[in-house]
Amino acid sequence: MCREISTRIDDIQGVYVVGGAVRDLILDRKPDDVDISVVGNAAAFSELLAVRLGANAPTTSQFLTYRIELASGPIDIVTARSESYATPAALPDVAPSSIVDDLKRRDFTVNAMGISLLATNWGNLVDPANGFGDIMRKRIRVLHDASFVDDPTRMYRAVRYAARLGFSLEPHTHELLAQSLGNVERVSGARLRHEFELILAEPTRVEVLRMAEEFGLLGAISPGLRIGTKALEILGRTSPENIEDMLAVVTFGLNAGEADQVAVRFDGPAAWNESITGGPRLASLVSVLDQEKLQRSEVADILSPIPLPAIRAYIAVGPPLPRRNRMIAYMDKIRFEKPEITGDDLIAAGIPESPVIGKLIELVKRAKLDGQVHSREEELKLAKSRLPGFLIAPKQ
């Protein structure tokens, strides 16, 4: 295999670290991952590198793209390419090309630099769009005027990088962004969702969302999508793994119509839809929770159909009315409480197996929540005493 590879090494004309890793190196930040661009035979280079690193053979996914998995993270290797967009916001057509073309197809100048890894010109910086200068000026700048039209997701990337690096948008880039907001509607739900996930995963997500709102990028997803100050504050504290909770906070305060629109636009899995639409569902029920006389079983009745992220968001962001304490009680205690007895205990006590068993257990559960039974014996006694009522339940 190695001999076979070495015969193909002549096909490798250039090897460059590209993109975020170069930007981060210049900024003295630790890169998250390493992207390598190969001019020529990227397959041969990937195989050789995998052998040298003692890694498994590279996997290949898209067009002439390879990945080597290492314990420290993946190395992605692409064949240097040019890209053209047949229609705006579609995926690009690609063809193998030079390193300069490969860098020029990218989103921002700060991401459009490469550092050579070949011994012949080791360490040379290739910077066709003066990304280095933009890093020094702390600005995010597109490489060409059609960048946001070709790929509207780049507008979200722009604010993500600006917030992360403490940069601002270069004025012309800012202008282009404002002119390109209408193109967001052409982006698929899946791609928008991906951008949103990346935003929420950023340690600086609060600043990203603040900028996204200011620049109209939230409204471009769905006109009703906006985010309040309290929600932003909470988002700064929520754990990034918990995307459903973050979504519920981001969409807190939307009315039912707005939330439905946002959910349709993201076109996400059930968990996304529930987090987004759970808020207005809860808001429509919640005033009952302020009533002074309310049994714990009634609290459970109201809150059990509501997705948990929506309740957590309400507790975090909502007004400090009595309802909030009831929600806290539900989240911390009520929802976990269940009778000591089970259906098997009722069967063992001589009650025939039937749907009545489930109804009796539910009845006992409510009684326990409301403090009417305090022991296993009392639970059994209650179930048995109520059995006749279920057996001759009046027709409704």
> What residues line the site for ligand CTP (CB under 6 A)?
19-20, 32-33, 35, 106-107, 111, 151, 153-154, 157
Of 145, 146, 177, 183, residue with least CA distance to 161 = 177
N residues, the chain:
396
Q: How far is the CB of 228 from ligand CTP (least distance, A)?
A: 27
Q: Which is nearer to ligand CTP, 32 or 241 (CB)?
A: 32
How far is 181 from 128, CA to CA, in rounded Å?
27
Q: How far is the CB of 191 from ligand CTP (least distance, A)?
A: 9
Q: How far is the CB of 157 from ligand CTP (least distance, A)?
A: 6
Q: How far is the CB of 166 from ligand CTP (least distance, A)?
A: 14
How far is 288 from 376, CA to CA, in rounded Å?
31
Q: How far is the CB of 18 from ligand CTP (least distance, A)?
A: 7
- 45-73: string of b/e by CB count within 10 Å (b at 16+)? bbbbbbeeeebeebeeeeebbbbbeeeee
Q: Which is nearer to ligand CTP, 106 or 366 (CB)?
A: 106
Q: Which is nearer to ligand CTP, 154 or 323 (CB)?
A: 154
Q: How far is the CB of 70 from ligand CTP (least distance, A)?
A: 16
Q: Which is nearer to ligand CTP, 91 or 178 (CB)?
A: 91
How far is 174 from 185, CA to CA, in rounded Å?
19
Q: How far is the CB of 367 from ligand CTP (least distance, A)?
A: 55
End-to-end CA distance of the chain: 78
How far is 23 from 112, CA to CA, in rounded Å?
8
Give the 3-state secondary structure of residue 214. helix
How far is 118 from 284, CA to CA, in rounded Å?
64
Number of H helices, E strands in the chain: 20, 11
Angstrom CA distances, 104 to 98, 296, 303, stand at: 10, 63, 53
Q: Which is nearer to ligand CTP, 157 or 365 (CB)?
A: 157
The torsion region of residue 15 among left (phi > 0), alpha (psi -120 to 50) and beta comes to: beta
Q: Which is nearer to ligand CTP, 151 or 345 (CB)?
A: 151
Q: Which is nearer to ligand CTP, 128 or 343 (CB)?
A: 128
In the complex, which residue's CB is closest to ligand CTP?
Answer: 20
Of 215, 113, 101, residue with least CA distance to 158 = 215
Q: Which is nearer to ligand CTP, 221 or 341 (CB)?
A: 221
Identify whether the C-beta of residue 222 lies closer than 8 Å to the C-beta of residue 262: yes
Q: How far is the CB of 20 from ligand CTP (least distance, A)?
A: 3
